[in-house]
Amino acid sequence: MSHRDLHPDDCALLRCPLTHESLSLHTHTLERWLERSSNPHYTPQQVEALLVNASQTFAWPIVQGVMLLLPVYGLPLAEQPLPDMSRDKAQVFAYYNDLNYIQTEDAQSLYADTGQWVDYRPVAADYIRRSFRRAGDYLTGGGRYYLDAASGPIGLPEYLALSRGDEVRVCVDLSFRALVQARANLEQQRGLFVCADLTNLPLASNSCDAVLSQHTLYHIPAAEQRAAVLELYRVAQPGARVAIVYNWFHHAWLINLLLGSVQVYRLLRFAAARLYGRLRPERKRLYFHVHGPSWWRRLPFGQRVQFVCWRSLNKYVLRLYVHKALGGRRLVAWLMRLEDRYPHFFGRWGDYPLILIDKPTES
């Protein structure tokens, strides 16, 4: 979708990330706004349109159909500075904007580092694809706005299918490059593409019919993850569901038992990498921190939080135990049946929970 396809309702969905005012679309006489621009991330010639807040203190560019509503992209129209990005968040921003992409057999674009986290061996393929579809078991379609928070490039057919029953997929990501890829991959569906921060979503409250965030929250600084969850909850409509794919890491006792000393090695390596990152902040790294289940229970709506299974085993366990010559396909088929039958058990003790939060319908 380009700025020419923006509906009035779409503009009403958006908010200025700094003043939280409504935004209006400007497509003509952009020079008067852009003449004062010195933003290093884009040139005035790249700007297709501008979104300007109600008080006309900030303008936000649209480039290649992506709405740049991240403070680093802002254009101050008054003498107001733009806030700086935290170091950990800046490293994630740089990591994903510099990351290359690979082409899949389905002609979609995926992050080039996907193989580091996912076991793509044929023996595990059915099990992996089942997890890619699992959010669709809990988020029903048919609404207007389906928020895909930290969408990435949406390079998997199973991910593309998640919003097929909804009118508009609102793709929000920290990476401009990922959103450009998502726009290309989502060509058969209507989408809005918003470069923004999950801890400060530039969207109206109570506006989204379904909210999904996959494999992102644990890349947000630990102290800011609560703000991100509250933002996802805020933008969900009353009666809507928020679904978050998370990682338990050392809180996943099933993984601790199955990996044993390998898990101890992973913990030590993780601690060493974090220390190295503090000593060498100029080196790019992907921030990672997980909170345990008790942290989720302490949220304001913690009594409504459910843990169900997204995928109980990670790449390390699969590569250790699942092999074609040892009946690997039968093993993963049996495991899929168990996960479907006991989703809460595997959601709590397995590696990747799907965390569900139902927002009550207002009276």
* pLDDT tens-digit map of 262-297: 889 888 888 887 776 666 665 666 788 999 999 999
How far from 118 is each of 35, 128, 210, 339, CA to CA, in Å? Answer: 46, 8, 26, 18
18-39 per-position pLDDT tens digit: 999 999 999 887 877 777 677 8
Contact predicate 306/356, CB 8 Å? yes
How far from 26 is each of 49, 134, 172, CA to CA, in Å? Answer: 6, 40, 21
The CATH number for 92-358, chosen from 3.30.420.40, 1.10.10.10, 3.90.550.10, 3.40.50.150, is 3.40.50.150
Joined tokens for residue 265: 């090695």
Give the whole-angstrom CA distance, residue 112 versus residue 1: 25
Give the whole-angstrom CA distance, residue 344 versus residue 330: 23
Joined tokens for residue 307: 């843990």
Question: Of 191, 123, 124, 122, whose CA–CA distance to 154 is shortest?
Answer: 191
Helix (H) or strand (E) holding 261, with range, is: helix 261-279
Q: What are phi and psi of 120, to 5 degrees?
A: -95, 15
**pLDDT exceeds 50 at position 103:** yes
**CA terminus-to-terminus distance, the chain:** 36
The pLDDT confidence band at residue 105, using thresholds 50, 70 and 90, is low
pLDDT (0 to 100) of residue 283: 63
290-326 per-position pLDDT tens digit: 999 999 999 999 999 999 999 999 999 999 999 999 9
DSSP annotation of 224 reads G
The pLDDT confidence band at residue 363, using thresholds 50, 70 and 90, is very low
- The burial class, CB within 10 Å (0-12 / 13-18 / 19+), for 181 is buried
Helix (H) or strand (E) holding 93, with range, is: helix 87-98
Contact predicate 190/126, CB 8 Å? no
**pLDDT exceeds 70 at position 1:** no
Give the whole-angstrom CA distance, residue 287 versus residue 61: 28
193-242 per-position pLDDT tens digit: 999 999 999 999 999 999 999 999 999 999 999 999 999 999 999 999 99
The residues, any chain, with a CB within 8 Å of residue 137's CB and separated by 6 or more, are none
Question: Collapsing DSSP states into helix, strand and coil, what is residue 104?
Answer: coil
* Mean pLDDT to the nearest integer, 108-124: 76
How far from 362 is each of 141, 211, 230, 239, CA to CA, in Å? Answer: 21, 18, 17, 8
Question: Collapsing DSSP states into helix, strand and coil, what is residue 52?
Answer: strand
Contact predicate 113/195, CB 8 Å? no
Give the whole-angstrom CA distance, residue 210 versus residue 140: 8
Could you tell me what percent of the chain has a pLDDT over 90? 67
Tell me the helix, strand and coil percentages in the chain, rounded to 5: 40, 20, 35
Domain with CATH 3.40.50.150 in the chain: 92-358
